[in-house]
Amino acid sequence: MATTTGAPDTVAEATGATNTTASAKAAQPAAIELAASAAPGAAPSVAPPSPAATLRTGLGIDVHAFAPAEAHRRLVLGGVDIPYERGLAGHSDADALAHAIADALLGAARLGDIGKLFPDTDPTFKDADSLVLLAQACQAVRGAGFDILDIDSVICCQEPKLSPHRDAMRRNIARAASLDVDNVGIKATTTERLGFEGRSEGISAYATCLLQRKDA
Ligand code: MG
């Protein structure tokens, strides 16, 4: 029993040894199975494959460097034109957030990535509106038999301040993905002046999503 101070009375309590016997017993079948499979000549114990899950998660990451001010590039994130002295360099409008979200969705549907769908060597996508590319990626995901349930994302950026633009970005992404705005999360963070984002050399964006098979 522990004292009222919370300090253990015995070494056994301090180490959790009073529970060791029970947990050791519970672990026995698994231990025996492992030992059997490790025995020379024994067939490994492998669980039968489970049916394909109906839910899928996706992860997308994108990075763009800032172009020099003389390049007069726009800074576009989540389809919002953000007032700043420099824009991001890229073949399209360099909307890192839209690209990260598209990659998360395509990854979850096992459709490759944004570079496969929209190669940056294709002049069609020069200065392309990335919300249009995102909408096309969503169409491909739905065409592959998935409902898009939810998206969350983070933009890492030392400057400019993005929070005033968050709701506009959410509305844009929701419209492009044909989702309720409540199912689009966008957060922004600095990196405490660390790394390329912290030195304002570029911006990174991370996104996750949840899909469900339509026939589930
Ligand atoms: Mg990109």
Residues 70-123: tens digit of each pLDDT:
999 999 999 999 999 999 999 999 999 999 999 999 999 999 999 888 888 888
Distance between Cα 73 and ligand 1 center (Å): 15
Between the CA of 119 and the centroid of ligand 1 the distance, in Å, is: 11
Angle at 91 between CA 61 and CA 189, to 5 degrees: 35
Distance 114 CA to ligand 1 centre (A): 8
Instruction: Report which of 120, 124, 115, 130 is spatially closest to residue 79, judged by C-alpha positions.
Output: 130
Instruction: Place 33 in a pLDDT band, splitting at 50, 70 and 90.
Output: low
- Please report, for residues 19, 99, 204, 207, the alpha-carbon distance to residue 88 in angstroms, rounded to integers and kept in the order given: 57, 13, 11, 18
Q: Where is mean pLDDT largest: 25-29, 45-49, 122-126, 197-201?
A: 197-201
What separation in Å is there between the alpha carbon of 216 and the centre of ligand 1? 32
Predicted pLDDT at 39 = 60
Rounded distance from Cα 88 to ligand 1 centre (Å): 10
95 CA to middle of ligand 1, Å? 7
Average pLDDT over residues 40-65: 88
Strand-by-strand arrangement of the 187-189 sheet: 55-65, 202-213, 146-156, 187-189
How many CA within 13 A on the CB side of residue 56?
A: 23
Q: How far is the CA of 185 from the centre of ligand 1 (A)?
A: 19
- pLDDT reported for residue 52: 84
Q: How far, in Å, from the CA of 39 to the mean position of ligand 1? A: 50
- Ligand 1 centroid to Cα of residue 147, in Å, is 24
CB-count exposure of residue 213 (10 Å: 0-12, 13-18, 19+): middle
Residue 55, phi then psi, degrees to nearest 5:
-100, 145
Name the CA radius of gyration of the chain, rounded.
25
Q: Please give the pLDDT value at position 32.
A: 47
Tokens (6 digits) for 31:
């231990």
User: Are 209 and 57 in contact, with CB atoms under 8 Å apart?
Assistant: yes
Pairing, β 187-189 against β 146-156: parallel
